[in-house]
């Protein structure tokens, strides 16, 4: 995964920035962060070298959201942290400090989750990249945390990756405040009709498709199926894939997802 060392909230978002960016940047920094936190459930999302022997570790925690920690000495051969800070494994994480990047004091493996393999492993890295790029730091999302665990378990048990990813992508946009109601037409306020054709404005939600629209066209049935998390229809699977790709691209504000391109190239997910 690419480095993500700069928090998007460090600079004000411009007025024409995508909704997800504005939502992240509009939240004030936490003025009084806890100086010590012990045994917080969490997962490693990404890490990168810091100085000669340490790492900066991006973690997703149940009660504190995405945070950055410096793992001092984690690259040393005999460090207790060296074999623990692995992606997709449930941990209890302890840290101290009030700075933007706090100090990791302990991490312990909980176990109980099967490893990801093959396509599931690549899908897991895609989930992590989405979380790093779309979640603001210090912004708790306990519902999304539970969804993340459920998604990893589904991937580990060989559930169909396209369906698993669509459900997580939808949950991510809803939990970050930019996922519109797919069952209500934004133009009329009326319920979406299964036999009509729509486009989904990333800022406003579904509306009837027009000949001039360059957004992905989807049937009302697809939108209703997505709301019910029913992806049994092949048309729903295909249309939802292109719709979510479009919506995520908008809310990422042009940021590229390396793992998404790999998934497209290899598996067309």
Show me where the domains of the chain are located: 35-109, 118-267
Alpha-carbon span 247 to 182, nearest angstrom: 12
The pTM of the full predicted model, rounded to 2 decimals, is 0.83
Distances (CA, A) of 87 to 43, 68, 228: 7, 15, 30
- pLDDT value for 255: 83
- pLDDT value for 43: 98
Half-sphere exposure of 139 toward its Cβ, with a 13 Å CA cutoff? Answer: 20
- pLDDT value for 101: 95
Q: Residues in the chain with pLDDT < 70?
A: 1-34, 261, 263-269
Q: How far is CA 262 from the centre of its chain?
A: 17
- pLDDT value for 267: 59
Alpha-carbon span 176 to 182, nearest angstrom: 16
Class of domain 35-109: mainly beta
Query: Do 35-109 and 118-267 come out as alike in CATH topology?
Result: no
Distances (CA, A) of 78 to 81, 85, 156: 9, 14, 30
For 73-126, the pLDDT digits (tens) are: 999 988 888 889 999 999 999 999 988 999 999 999 998 889 999 889 999 999
CATH number belonging to the domain at 118-267, selected among 3.60.20.30, 1.20.1440.120, 1.10.3480.10, 1.25.40.420: 1.20.1440.120
Written as six digits, the tokens of 84 are 């623990």
- pLDDT value for 220: 98
- pLDDT value for 111: 84
Alpha-carbon span 117 to 25, nearest angstrom: 36
* SS3 at position 218: strand
Half-sphere exposure of 179 toward its Cβ, with a 13 Å CA cutoff? Answer: 18
């Amino acid at each position: 995964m690419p480095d993500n060392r700069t928090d998007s909230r460090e600079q004000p978002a411009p007025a024409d920035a995508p909704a997800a960016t504005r939502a992240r940047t509009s939240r004030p920094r936490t003025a009084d962060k806890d100086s010590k936190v012990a045994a917080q459930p969490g997962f490693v999302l990404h890490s990168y070298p810091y100085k000669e022997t340490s790492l900066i570790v991006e973690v997703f925690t149940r009660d504190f959201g995405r945070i950055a920690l410096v793992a001092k000495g984690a690259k040393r051969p005999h460090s207790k942290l060296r074999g623990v800070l692995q992606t997709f494994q449930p941990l209890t994480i302890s840290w101290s400090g009030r700075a933007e990047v706090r100090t990791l004091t302990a991490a312990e493996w909980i176990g109980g989750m099967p490893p990801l393999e093959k396509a599931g492993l690549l899908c897991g890295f895609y989930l992590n990249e989405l979380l790093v790029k779309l979640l603001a730091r210090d912004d708790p999302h306990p519902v999304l945390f539970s969804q993340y665990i459920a998604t990893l378990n589904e991937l580990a048990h060989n559930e169909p990756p396209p369906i698993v990813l669509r459900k997580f992508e939808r949950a991510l946009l809803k939990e970050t405040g930019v996922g519109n109601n797919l069952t209500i037409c934004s133009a009329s306020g009326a319920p979406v009709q299964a036999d009509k054709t729509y486009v989904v404005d990333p800022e406003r939600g579904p509306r009837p498709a027009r000949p001039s629209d360059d957004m992905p066209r989807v049937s009302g049935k697809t939108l209703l199926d997505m709301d019910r998390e029913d992806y049994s229809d092949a048309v729903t699977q295909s249309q939802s894939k292109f719709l979510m790709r479009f919506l995520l691209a908008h809310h990422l504000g042009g940021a590229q997802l390396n793992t998404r391109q790999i998934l497209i190239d290899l598996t067309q997910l």
